[in-house]
Amino acid sequence: MWGRHHGGVPVGVIDVGSNTVRLLVVRGGRPVLSEREMLRLGADVERDGRISDQKLAQAAGVVGGYAEDARSAGVEELEVLITSPGRQAANGDELHEVLALAARCPVRVVSSAEEGRLAFVGAVGLATPPTRRTVAVVDVGGGSAQVVVGTRRDGPSWQQSIDLGSQRLTSRLLTDEPPGEWAVRRASAEVARYLTGLVPPTPRTAYAVGGSARALKRIVGPRLGAEELAYLLDLVASTPATELGERYGIAAERTRTVAAGTIILAAFQQLLDAPLKVVRGGLRDGAVAELAERRIAA
């Protein structure tokens, strides 16, 4: 089942993450509608341990609007997935409640393991490596990051998640603009601490998905090997985020966390001892694939 999309009826997923809220609608394996808005729910969680009433209202408005957009596109099967904000916020249950009322469809908080698995499904489904090849998928989000190893035929066989993403790391250690070499070193040591003791299987191929990886692709291309990431670490340490955005066409809302994303991806690349290839796909693609599968099977 890995990575297959079926049917001509549109299905949709709204992904509520620490940085962004995103809508993806797919029909017959092809995206027909994609929307996103940067809300930074994770910044509230990192600062206060909970999501403010203002951000709850904003999230409900965005999710409710996306749900209506999906239905206007013909979607009958729609699901809202809440990732790290639902797991990490003291009022995650309240976030779930207001989004369920706004979206009027199934809403669930996905575990870190499920988040990693869906990212793996979405990445290998679109990248289509040989079915038995051992591949790793690294997904760096705003509030957490996952690494999953497995095959397209059999799915994940090993996975781990850390409660540290680009938004959380930025809020903790990378608030200066630019952060500077010393701050980047401190942040790298913090990520290394989270990865201590992890020994993943060695993959033949490693993929990177998510907004941070896509931003870095604009700077050095799709290959994030040790050499490219060393260059990027120097670059983000010494270059203001606004300049990075202007120079490389990175969206303004992404530049604020690009240094943290670079640091986390570099740590995972070193852990896997393999270059990361930036590919399309991820959690939303995996989720819509499985939603379509369930619709066909029903």
Q: Which residues pair with 79 in a beta bridge?
A: 13
Whole-model pTM?
A: 0.94
CA distances to 26, 195, 230, 244 from 186, in Å: 41, 15, 15, 21
Per CATH, the number for 11-110 is: 3.30.420.40
Helix H, strand E, coil C: the string for 61-79 is HHHHHHHHHHHHCCCCEEE
Residues of the chain with CATH 3.30.420.40: 11-110
Residues of the chain with CATH 3.30.420.150: 113-278
- Cβ–Cβ under 8 Å, residues 84 and 17: yes
Local confidence pLDDT in tens for the 298 residues of the chain = 334 444 578 999 999 999 999 999 999 889 999 999 999 999 999 999 999 999 999 999 999 999 999 999 999 899 999 999 999 999 999 999 999 999 999 999 999 999 999 999 999 999 999 999 999 999 999 999 999 999 999 999 999 999 999 999 999 999 999 999 999 999 999 999 999 999 999 999 999 999 999 999 999 999 999 999 999 999 999 999 999 999 999 988 789 999 999 999 999 999 999 999 999 989 999 999 999 888 777 6
Cβ neighbours of residue 80 closer than 8 Å, sequence gap 6 or more: 13, 14, 16, 63, 67, 99, 100, 103, 105, 106, 107, 108
pLDDT score recorded for residue 152:
96
> At CA 285, angle to CA 37 and CA 200, rounded to 5?
105
Is the alpha carbon torsion for 237, 239, 240, 245 positive or negative? negative
- Superfamily (CATH H level) for 113-278: Exopolyphosphatase. Domain 2 (3.30.420.150)
pLDDT score recorded for residue 8:
75
Between CA 244 and CA 235 the distance in angstroms is: 9
Cβ neighbours of residue 192 closer than 8 Å, sequence gap 6 or more: 267
